[in-house]
Amino acid sequence: DQQVKQNSPSLSVQEGRISILNCDYTNSMFDYFLWYKKYPAEGPTFLISISSIKDKNEDGRFTVFLNKSAKHLSLHIVPSQPGDSAVYFCAASPPTGTASKLTFGTGTRLQVTL
């Protein structure tokens, strides 16, 4: 049972435009959400996170939006740069007081073209 889903396996965006990566989850107990970027043969790199008490969090070119009622989150990258080309994973964490256990989506491969 895939509790975190990224339905788009790949996305191609022109340099300078906006990249929007989507993620859906089914477990309403998830309380904290994270986005990671991953290059081949490397570990995931943390990008940005959001708590369920917020609906938006920004960090430079990266913004994450959370819609709890729809169980949906998205990552916006503006403007997109060629160095952003990588696989992006969303991850969800259970609430405070529990152990650290991230449930990952299957990833979306982003290609930023010139």
Partner 1 sequence: KAGVTQTPRYLIKTRGQQVTLSCSPISGHRSVSWYQQTPGQGLQFLFEYFSETQRNKGNFPGRFSGRQFSNSRSEMNVSTLELGDSALYLCASSLLSGPVEQFFGPGTRLTVL
Judged by beta carbon, residue 22 or residue 79, the one nearer partner 1 is 22
Judged by beta carbon, residue 46 or residue 81, the one nearer partner 1 is 46
- Looking at the DSSP bridge assignments, the partners of residue 59 are 62
Judged by CB under 8 A, does residue 96 bind partner 1?
yes
User: Within its chain, how far is the Cα of 24 from the centroid?
Assistant: 10
Judged by CB under 8 A, does residue 88 bind partner 1?
no
Judged by CB under 8 A, does residue 1 bind partner 1?
no
Judged by beta carbon, residue 7 or residue 113, the one nearer partner 1 is 7
> How many CA atoms lie within 13 Å of 22's alpha carbon, on the beta-carbon side?
9
Judged by CB under 8 A, does residue 8 bind partner 1?
no
Measured CA to CA in angstroms, residue 51 lies from 9, 30, 33, 69, 82 at distances of 25, 10, 6, 14, 29
Judged by CB under 8 A, does residue 114 bind partner 1?
no
- Structure token pair of residue 45: 């790199």
User: Rounded CA gap, 11 and 102, in Å?
Assistant: 24
Judged by CB under 8 A, does residue 107 bind partner 1?
yes
One symbol per residue from 46 to 65: x for binding partner 1 (CB under 8 A), - otherwise; what is it?
Answer: x--x-x--------------
Closest CA to 21 of 84, 88, 99, 82: 88
Residues 29-48 that bind partner 1 (CB under 8 A): 31-32, 34, 36, 41-46
